[in-house]
Chains A and B, each alone.
Chain A
């Protein structure tokens, strides 16, 4: 098969994976080398697909042949999609060619499971090894690890990759048993636990900085990271009956248990040649969007899963963002005095993001904040005002009004951003 055709098949197979971020790598560059590549902490989105998702990496499968029969997956053994397999060198060349043209930040490689978990993991790792060792490639590499591959292989993969990930795919053990009977739910968690121990171990080792190059010389740049700095996972939303609360509880526990950098939520998407047992529906993109917002609240705003998805039924409100929904359910906690309240309370005000709260805390030292200060901070005043007290503003009875919720409910719209903080 021609390279172009393979690329078409193997990019098609990879497009259902939501993870895309290329940030969080240890900073490095190619100065003083003959190679190319750098990472500066923050990743760059080099393009956007018409689905609104960022393209920052060459995201492909090494092969879409797979032994497993996970029903939600287009690559399952029983699916009739066309199959292809890249050679190690083909992926290496594509990565380098795309990188040199500044199309991408690096590579995100995963694979269907062929022969065995260990064999597959070895092949995936080999691509990263050749890029690093033979081409001195210093760009970003994210490898999808194969659940329950041997600890030695995980350790090897982590020496070449900036990030490793294992997809949880379904939030509950029952969901996995029903839709991915050959997958071992505990095996996935075990792999995450192993990765965490390896990532933590490498971090502890690298702390006492080894003597670098001779005094006066710049530190010797190294092509490979000492060990992947982070791991992430993906949860498919809407393929099984798990509610939002269950999903967020699972995420919360996984952030704490495995130090995950990100959990990606991927609205279950219609796939070609879907399994008979999986009735297809239009993808709940809005639900995915709300989950990202809720996840954001857990990571940066001190919310717990149970608080956010606390409404009866365990589902997030689709009409309003989860922070506003929480505030409407807890009006007794408002209004919050912008000129006096501690950070934790300010962070709970709908419409105030982390940056706005920092600015408020800084500005409070020299002025009493008024309504027009909010406007200058570019926060959505209509959303904030009912919940706060300012030098020249009290919400009065607006907060109790039963029409408040209706007023703040925006007209229905298509979810717009892939991954955003609730404003």
Chain B
């Protein structure tokens, strides 16, 4: 078997690896026969004994990639990251994986294959290093003749400077900056990124005028009662500390934390400096609406947003009563604004009524729902809610003084008439309450929305007929 020498331009030469790998693959060179190295980086990645091996075979020109060499997009992403690792064997590992992906179609589903697991581990470490670079680069400001320049020193573990630079370009477009690392540097002048060689730490590190403010912030945003050094270190390992100005505060802050907390706990409550007069107690005689806003008589009131009170002219002669607010009504704090409300609007218009002349409300004032994951499903009010809430409804009836009430649906009818009424039986009829008020019973719009499509049109016509009776009685009035 002859050796194939694959030499890359530099340690982060992903494009070079791709071109070379594609060529090797097209020539069917098996992974065992390739010696990967980086120019100027003597022997890295070469199998033992390579230099005793015969000279690489003359390499024929690279044929175009064939469709047989298509690899999953996820592999490309994986390779782009894993190839930046400082591990010398990375080029060989990724080529072996590429070779096997072409030879063994089942491999693309097998996320537990050892080669894949190894490559993913490399990629994960590179991504973490990239992430930490985004997080822990600290710029210091230097005045120059052309305005301020921001300079940072950073020590990445892997070959990530080229890969992370565009992030800093997108973030700090309006600044002139450079980031210097031991092996490579990058500079942005507002127009283009320029890469160059690395440098030494003492050529770069300087103190910044704002550092004192930053340290003040760091010191004071820390809550001494919650000292958790382990958690901190797992996210901000010590190896980064010497480049983070705030890290020198960690030890003293931690040392004082216990004592500061104990002092806090042992101090008796002091006498307040100044007191505001207590808020006036809630006055009696406020309207039922304000009183109901704080009602907690049913358990679901705790999870509803607000009591949804009725709406309309205080002198309306007709009051429409629905069942309870729904999801949209609960959020908006107004009755009949959701889908059922829109159907009601349409029907009122068809019946020749102006919504603005009517008072609209609900028998129960809080939205009662059941949770299904992240959705709130309407749950009809039970006896208990109807009963508890009827006092609010009665106060509303009394405040508005409407002589004619329209019960939309069974819950409203039960609440207004204090007995169960079958809507199908009494629909379209006026019933009298002990106080002399007339109650027209008809459907709730939500019930119409629940009917099968073929039943909706006739039901809607009946419903509009019912509502039209209101128009007649209010004209006769």
Contacts and interface: CB of A to CB of B under 8 A. Distances in A.
Contacts of B173: 29-36
A193 B250 contact: no
A376 B118 CA distance: 10
Contacts of B333: 190, 193
B380 to A, nearest CB: 18
B208 A193 contact: no
B110 A55 contact: no
A4 B223 CA distance: 18
B303 A30 contact: no
Contact of A44 (B114, B131, B294): B131
B459 interface: no
Interface residues of B, number: 89
B157 to A, nearest CB: 18
B270 to A, nearest CB: 5
Interface in A246-270: 249-250, 252-253, 255-257, 259, 267, 269-270
A273 B269 contact: yes
B234 interface: yes
A331 interface: no
A53 interface: yes
B150 interface: yes
Interface in A364-422: 365-367, 369, 373, 376-377, 414-418
Interface string B291-320: 001101000001111110000000000000
Interface string A14-47: 1110000000000001111111111010001111
B170 A29 contact: yes
B139 A366 contact: no
A150 interface: no
Given A94-B213, A181-B279, A190-B305, A16 B269 contact: no
B138 A376 contact: no
A50 B228 CA distance: 6
A415 B231 CA distance: 8
Interface stretch (A209-217, A275-283, A316-324): A275-283
A273 B270 contact: yes
Contacts of A273: 267, 269-270
A364 to B, nearest CB: 9
A149 interface: no
Interface stretch (A72-80, A224-232, A333-341): A72-80
Interface residues of A, number: 100
Given A53-B226, A80-B273, A256-B371, A186 B306 contact: yes
A182 B264 contact: no
A282 B235 CA distance: 25
A77 B275 contact: yes
Nearest to B275: A78
A236 to B, nearest CB: 13
A271 interface: yes
A48 B174 CA distance: 27
Given A46-B136, A102-B139, A302-B373, A30 B306 contact: no
14 contacts: A30-B174, A33-B174, A36-B171, A46-B135, A49-B222, A53-B226, A98-B214, A102-B138, A173-B302, A186-B294, A269-B223, A274-B264, A363-B112, A366-B109
Given A46-B135, A49-B232, A417-B231, 13 more contacts: A8-B216, A30-B172, A34-B173, A50-B253, A52-B231, A101-B139, A173-B296, A250-B303, A256-B374, A257-B376, A267-B226, A271-B264, A376-B112
The 10 tightest CB contacts between A and B, nearest first, are: A52-B231, A78-B272, A52-B228, A29-B170, A276-B269, A11-B220, A253-B303, A30-B173, A51-B226, A49-B222
Interface of A: 3-4, 7-9, 11-12, 14-16, 29-38, 40, 44-55, 58-60, 67, 69, 77-80, 94, 97-98, 100-103, 136, 172-173, 181-182, 186, 189-190, 192-194, 196-197, 249-250, 252-253, 255-257, 259, 267, 269-276, 280, 282-283, 285, 302, 304, 359, 362-363, 365-367, 369, 373, 376-377, 414-418
Interface of B: 106, 109-112, 114, 117, 131, 134-141, 150, 152, 167, 169-175, 208, 210, 212-214, 216-232, 234-236, 244, 246, 250, 253-254, 257, 261, 264-265, 267, 269-270, 272-276, 278-279, 293-294, 296, 302-307, 330-333, 369, 371, 373-376
